[in-house]
Homo-oligomer: A and B are copies of this chain.
Amino acid sequence: MRAEIISIGTEILIGAITNTNARYLAGKLAENAIDSYYQVTVGDNVGRLVETLETAAARTDIIITSGGLGPTEDDITLEALLRFLQKPAVLHQPTLRYIQKRLRLAGYKMSKLALRQCYVPKGSIVFQNFNGAAPGILSHIQRAGKKIWVLVLPGPPRELEPMFNTQALPALLSQAKIKREHFVVRSLKIAGFTETQVAERVPAFLKSKPPLTVGIYARPDLVTLKVMAKAGSQKKARQMADRTEKQIRKKLGSSIFGIDDETLSSAVGKILANRKKTLAVAESCSGGLLGSLITDTPGSSAYFLGGIIAYHNKVKTAELAVPAILLKKHGAVSEPVAEAMVQECRKRFASDYGISITGIAGPDGGTLTKPVGLVCMAIASDTGIFVKKMILRGNRHEIKTRAAHRALNALRLQLLQKAL
């Protein structure tokens, strides 16, 4: 089975928005072992959309469109679809009732424009839009003796994604009689290594071919290895993924901080919560970003007490008792100052652990001996203080981001050591 993704919208053609739907749908197709040779983007033009549908029908089994289902004049997907399918439109009563109810709740009356969204090609399977108005549509057409499936989805990602995942994909797989292969996809999240360093440690895995593949993806201070195992049963696929994960862990050890949706923040949080330990932070150049990352994890109030943002040097002295002489002698971005910051922070908040960050985020403020990107950080606990100095790459925001992630990872590694 082969599918083609058609994205509809002039806003994509003029570069006003990034086409994230195509990536989402492509990823889902790949997970379900449905090949895809082409993706096409076309504007809000009936003639060109019909032509694009015809071209796709000649070379694919499944066509998936997104966008152009809104209530306004430039939403032309339904019109093109009717022309392509050569089917009449019928009023879909459940959609009519659903849209009427939505409008009533918002205090509006049914309008002629909203009524347009209640029509679907005769004989369609219709998916209710729980996050918007326009329904999804699954229909089909015969071409050269072959049945071509056409799945039509709304454009906004928050409408498209849940509709595709929970309604449209299961319906498509069952209607088109696609043997659902069993897949396990597992992301191993890695901190402390660059993409190249990870690749050098697992070269054979990166070359492996289906039914087991391993892909590598990098972001500032996060590398992900994505294991995809395919088998005749869920159990077998899981066993393959488990075996691969175990082998990769042997190569990468504790640099793997979690799987799938885990973040450095949640990984650190899990350990702290389990051990009923608390954390406080003292931030200079990161300006609050470390605290913000920590509190992005739900339930962080169980272990995160708070922190001091000591941006100005006088705040470092007044709030974090950093001696003025220390600032003068070593400068604000120095190991002794990072150490003084974390010590007072931990004392003030009476926390089990403390993290401090001080650095030069740029673009100005760098010198020959202290360049932009220089960051000093310290981790403190009752067993001592660990201080580290490093030079980080990137623009101001990237330096802040890398610094906060490095600090979280340093704490995580300390916590792991203590577990031994």
- B43 engages A14 (CB within 8 Å): no
A126 to chain B, nearest CB (A): 26
Q: Which of A19, A292, A296, A400 has the most CB of B within 10 A?
A: A292
0/1 string, A49-68, CB within 8 A of B gives 1? 00010010000000000000
A245 to chain B, nearest CB (A): 19
- A287 engages B295 (CB within 8 Å): yes
Q: Which of B13, B23, B41 contacts A17 (CB 8 A)?
A: B23
User: CB of A305 within 8 A of chain B?
Assistant: yes
Contacts of A318 in B (CB 8 A): 348-349
- B287 engages A309 (CB within 8 Å): no
Contacts of A294 in B (CB 8 A): 287-288
Stretch from A28-36, A96-104, A323-331 forming part of the interface with B: A28-36
User: CB of A411 within 8 A of chain B?
Assistant: no
User: CB of A291 within 8 A of chain B?
Assistant: yes
Q: Which of under 10, 10 to 19, 20 to 34, or 35 or more describes the interface residues of A? A: 35 or more
User: CB of A155 within 8 A of chain B?
Assistant: no
- B312 engages A288 (CB within 8 Å): no
- A306 engages B295 (CB within 8 Å): no
Known: A41-B39, A296-B396, A311-B295. A15 touches B23 (CB 8 A): yes
- B315 engages A311 (CB within 8 Å): no
Q: Which of A22, A29, A308, A314 has the most CB of B within 10 A?
A: A22
Contacts of A18 in B (CB 8 A): 18-20, 23
- B288 engages A307 (CB within 8 Å): yes
- B288 engages A290 (CB within 8 Å): yes
Contacts of A27 in B (CB 8 A): 14-16
- A40 engages B39 (CB within 8 Å): yes
Bound-state CA distance A400–B289 (Å) is 12
- A298 engages B396 (CB within 8 Å): yes
- B15 engages A25 (CB within 8 Å): yes
Known: A38-B40, A38-B42, A311-B306. A295 touches B400 (CB 8 A): yes
0/1 string, A123-148, CB within 8 A of B gives 1? 00000000000000000000000000
A187 to chain B, nearest CB (A): 11
- A309 engages B291 (CB within 8 Å): yes
Known: A22-B41, A308-B308. A288 touches B298 (CB 8 A): no
CB closest chain-B residue, reference A279: B311
Known: A28-B15, A362-B298. A311 touches B319 (CB 8 A): no
Bound-state CA distance A52–B56 (Å) is 12
Q: Which of B22, B48, B299, B306 contacts A312 (CB 8 A)?
A: B306
Besides the known contacts A13-B36, A288-B294, A298-B364, 11 further A-B residue pairs in the complex with CB atoms under 8 A apart: A14-B26, A15-B29, A19-B22, A19-B39, A37-B48, A40-B41, A55-B55, A287-B292, A288-B290, A289-B289, A318-B349
Q: List 14 A-B contacts (CB under 8 A).
A: A12-B39, A13-B26, A13-B37, A14-B27, A15-B27, A39-B41, A287-B292, A288-B307, A295-B361, A296-B397, A298-B362, A298-B363, A298-B364, A306-B308
Question: 5 nearest interchain CB pairs?
Answer: A15-B27, A288-B291, A287-B295, A288-B288, A15-B26
